[in-house]
Amino acid sequence: MKRRLAVYDALLLPAIIALGGFLRFYRIGSEGLWLDEAFSVWMGRQPVGEVLGWLVRIDQHPPLYYALLHAWMCLGDGEAAVRALSGTCSTLTIPVIYLLGRRLLDERVGLLAALILAVSPFHVRLAQEARMYALLALNASLTFYALARLLTDPRATGESPGGQLVSFWRAWRTTRRRPPLGAIDTDLAWLGYVVFTTATLFTHNTAIFLPIAANLLVFGLLLVRRASVLPSPCLPVAVSPLFLRNWLLAQLAVCLLWLPWLPALVAQAAGVYREFWIPAPTWMTIVGTVGVFASDLLPPLPVVLGAAGLLYAGLVALGIARLRRSPARLAFLLIVFATPIVGEWLISLCRPIFYDRTLIWASIPFYVLLAAGVLRLRRWPYVLVAMLMILALNGLSLHNYYVHFEEEEWDDAATLVAERAGPDDLVLFNTAWGQIPFDYYFHRLRIRPVAERGVPVDLFERGVLEPRMTVSDLVRLRALVQDRGQVWLVYSHEWYADPGGLIPSTLEEELDLLDRWEFHSLQVRLYTESD
């Protein structure tokens, strides 16, 4: 019977991975690149040796994703090609969450967690963006799995890291027969924790909360055991000086590998502190983030949102109830889920940085907890009903995403200007960085060049990616349009870059507004010389 169930589960996991992969690659290139994606492509086109300098000057992210994208773009730089890196990373996360759920609980939890992740609209949406968030989720989930193995493997308390690998190498040299990989799985877990924690830190700066969460968990468990608050079977590791030494060595290795990035992080953090676009979070922002994890892009109908809220809250409560007899495993899920959320919220008290996509890795333990809650229902008819409800809600969200979700229409705006602009025209960008997605399409369509300028300054002129328009910049704007027969204004993100509407009002003083075209999230305006 157990063998039959194992075969059954072995067939289910590939099917779940295939479903998740299909959802992530379905229509992946149908929408044009939006601003941040185009910036990723621009960074990916830069020589690897110059990427670090650009990151420190104008960006807020570490280099790992851009370096991988640089290599990936040998396959092409079209919309589908550049997004396929994220799609691949997101698909690979599905078997990892299965392994995590199986390690912490059992195979059924792993399979249900994998299915919930596979159909997650939040992960599908970010899998179809040429940004680093799918890679962030993959690296963090691999760290979680390595950590779970260490905390549930008694051998992790009795051997120094590397001992198994040395024995493996000696056995291979003397017998010419390779021992099974199970003989070195503890060392691989230590190595995996160091490598993937470091990789996560090099994927996004907010991942600093990952090693913080891991250390809160480990030292919390050690303190609890020493205080004898819980019986020994409730905790996954024994208190031993050797395990603590190994753990501290692993943290030291992560720090040494990550340390070269610290000066760049300080410079980027100083730039974010001076000015950043994210608004201050509220309690509803936090609740909304958990809602995004559960089923992003649900139709904003009170009945639907209310039903979804009750369903997911109930399943989380059931998951906690199921794990009440395994407090260490419950602590694992709750700590790695809550630490990044609380951490970003605390920093946001000083400078807002709270953003749901940077918290994508917190959704991994959330899905495992949901899966545990579903199986807490015990009877298969109830389990089936709960999963059908989750699938129905996520299916509704995915339909909403595939049919109604729109990215910024830089492709259509560039096509319009490329077809109508004359050789002596001037194209202005109120967001200087908007020239990046515009040119991604414009240079494919336009053979003869057209003068392009940024307002208030040209792209990267101040070493700032997102400069704001001020009254003092109007002198330069008037000088740019003087004696120009036709001026095109590509106007986007005005709520941030030109909140006072200084650019269009000044252009209408100097020129006549001939026409205006509306695209999703941006406008194109055509001005001509006054009669």
| Cα separations in angstroms, 315 against 45, 298, 384 | 45, 18, 13
Q: Which residue has the tokens 């086109």?
A: 45
pTM of the full structure: 0.93
Q: Coil, helix or strand for 30?
A: coil
For residue 166, give both structure tokens: 């040395």
pLDDT number for residue 505: 95
pLDDT number for residue 3: 59
Minimum mean pLDDT range among 59-73, 224-238, 294-308, 370-384: 224-238
| pLDDT at 498 > cutoff 70 | yes
User: Are 413 and 526 contacting, i.e. CB atoms less than 8 angstroms apart?
Assistant: no
| pLDDT at 183 > cutoff 60 | no
Per residue in 244-289, pLDDT tens? Answer: 888 999 999 999 999 999 999 998 888 887 777 788 899 999 999 9
Q: In what order do the strands lie in the sheet with 426-429?
A: 451-454, 426-429, 486-492, 522-529, 511-519
Full DSSP string of 285-312: HHHHHHHHHHHTT----HHHHHHHHHHH
Minimum mean pLDDT range among 21-35, 239-253, 322-336, 413-427: 239-253
**179 vs 176: CA distance, rounded Å:** 9
Minimum mean pLDDT range among 63-67, 154-158, 461-465: 154-158
Residue 87's pLDDT band (boundaries 50, 70, 90)?
A: very high
**393 vs 121: CA distance, rounded Å:** 10
Full DSSP string of 378-441: -SHHHHHHHHHHHHHHHHHHHHHHHHH-----HHHHHHHHHHH--TT-EEEESSGGGHHHHHHH
Name the nearest CA neighbour of 429 among 443, 413, 415: 413
User: Are 104 and 359 contacting, i.e. CB atoms less than 8 angstroms apart?
Assistant: no
Which DSSP state fits 153? -
Q: Coil, helix or strand for 511?
A: strand
Residue 224's pLDDT band (boundaries 50, 70, 90)?
A: confident
Residues 6+ apart with CB under 8 A from 10: none
| pLDDT at 5 > cutoff 80 | no
How far is the first Cα of the chain from the last one, in angstroms, to the nearest whole number?
88
Is-cis flag, bond preceding 456, omega within 30?
A: yes
**214 vs 192: CA distance, rounded Å:** 14
Name the nearest CA neighbour of 400 among 509, 301, 277: 301
**Amino acid found at 497:** A
CA 53 to mean position of chain CA atoms = 23
Per residue in 91-133, pLDDT tens? Answer: 999 999 999 999 999 999 999 999 999 999 999 999 999 999 9
| Cα separations in angstroms, 271 against 57, 106, 144, 457, 463 | 9, 45, 31, 18, 10
Per residue in 375-409, pLDDT tens? Answer: 999 888 999 999 999 999 999 999 999 999 988 99
Residue 65's pLDDT band (boundaries 50, 70, 90)?
A: very high
Residue 1's pLDDT band (boundaries 50, 70, 90)?
A: very low
